[in-house]
Structure 1
């Protein structure tokens, strides 16, 4: 086997483990045409994801399977361009939503918040399957669930407003992540114990890249359930809560 063929075989093996653009070769002084076209298509998918919208009617219909009330919530960002230019507005619920939340205040262990973030596509494609995996775990553990909150134009920190307003001990927000050039459908999950206004990102735990080609949904559900149980046991979340769940398999 020639050195060039041997090196190519090594690169081909590495390609199986990443969607990154590695070893794409070249044509003259440029990359091959089909790779250039794939890059442009990926860039278009990323732009589309940023401006995508939650399929609210479909999601509301599909959420009925979990036998939990669903609250439709909006942030203070009125339209997409404002949401992108004013991140602060996406972190707070608007006045109408505040009234809805106050009317549903109770005593809950967990509130599940679903927000479009920077890729509603990720939520439209992955959220229902994820909830179908994780909600039975919560119910089996006898955790009291608040109404599910479906948020348009929401940022991660809006889970603090919602959790505090509903009087939930912990908020779990599922949100579309910033799309990259190899993943426009990546969903993230953020866990915050004792949510309240003014918390910073060091108060949260994040599980990222939840999608079929990334972190599989069933594995993400198990990891998040483990972290939430640990959060309740230790009464905290964020940098002080370490994810040592893999030690169960690789001690």
Structure 2
């Protein structure tokens, strides 16, 4: 029998879309080796998947967040939803939309005069995003709304929380507007994406058409300064027009032209 010489491993074939990778973090132009993707791309996919799973199970850095929020000069309340564990939070979204009884009673007892806006920091599906991006965004957004004349209520840090939890919190604190900063569902290129959802006239029972959302807030997505400017304009319009949701569109760029 003739022994065949060992052949060198096949080099990955270049992908004609490779130049487009400069414009997106999406998994395109991966190349291929035979019928498979190159090894380094297969390993990168597994690493991204691990980062996404870690983000879902990440926890708020409560001690640091409370210290950073108190430095902004407003009272800070810590609350939790009815979901007592992370597993319950993931399996019962309805529990994440409602305050635990003790948190409800504590906020109701602390409510003062009506305010224009309450900020809520909620872990959502990526506490990693809140830990990294919420305070830097607030440092820009809070002065902007205060200079406009907004009466800003307490800052609220919420664990095991979903977006609709903000409606109950805002209602209890007598806020005309509530803005929820929340960790978005992590993708394979963005485990730390921050979303901002705001609602005019918050109260339990509202649904998604009553809210506006600015998403993908992070240095690799929508930068803090741009997000603060966009949210500032939308919040001012929401308060002026007394609405949010499908009736409120971001027209700031059109009006500037």
Answer whether TM exceeds 0.5 for this pair: yes
Aligned to 1:59: 65
Distance 1:15 1:169 in 2: 43
Query: How far is 1:244 from its partner?
Result: 1.2
Aligned to 2:254: 247
Aligned to 2:108: 102
Distance 2:125 2:171 in 1: 24
Structure 1's consecutive aligned runs of 4 or more residues displaced over 6 angstroms after TM superposition are none
Is residue 208 of structure 1 aligned with residue 215 of structure 2? yes
- 1:126-154, CA deviations, whole angstroms, 9 ceiling, x for partnerless residues? 01100001001011112111110000000
The structure 2 residue matched to 1:82, chosen from 76, 84, 88, is: 88
Aligned to 1:236: 243
Distance 1:209 1:33 in 2: 29
Aligned to 1:140: 147
Distance 1:215 1:13 in 2: 22
Query: How far is 1:233 from its partner?
Result: 1.2
Distance 2:67 2:120 in 1: 16
DSSP 3-state at the match of 1:146: strand
- 1:92-137, CA deviations, whole angstroms, 9 ceiling, x for partnerless residues? 1111111211122121100001100000000000011000010010
Query: How far is 1:246 from its partner?
Result: 2.2
Distance 1:13 1:209 in 2: 24
- 1:213-241, CA deviations, whole angstroms, 9 ceiling, x for partnerless residues? 11111101110111001101111000010
Name the stretch that deviates more: 100-109 or 221-230: 100-109
The structure 2 residue matched to 1:197, chosen from 188, 199, 204, is: 204
Q: Map residues 165-184 of structure 1 onto 2, 5 A cutoff.
A: 165-184=172-191
- What is the TM-score when the length of structure 2 is the normalising length? 0.92
Residues matched between the structures, number: 244
- What is the TM-score when the length of structure 1 is the normalising length? 0.94
Aligned to 1:71: 77
DSSP 3-state at the match of 1:22: coil
Q: Which runs of 5+ in 2 are unaligned?
A: 1-12
Distance 1:224 1:62 in 2: 21
Q: Which has the larger radius of gyration?
A: 2
Query: How far is 1:13 from its partner?
Result: 3.7
Q: Which runs of 5+ in 1 are unaligned?
A: none
CA RMSD, aligned part only? 1.3
Query: How far is 1:12 from its partner?
Result: 4.0
Distance 2:52 2:214 in 1: 21
Aligned to 1:27: 33
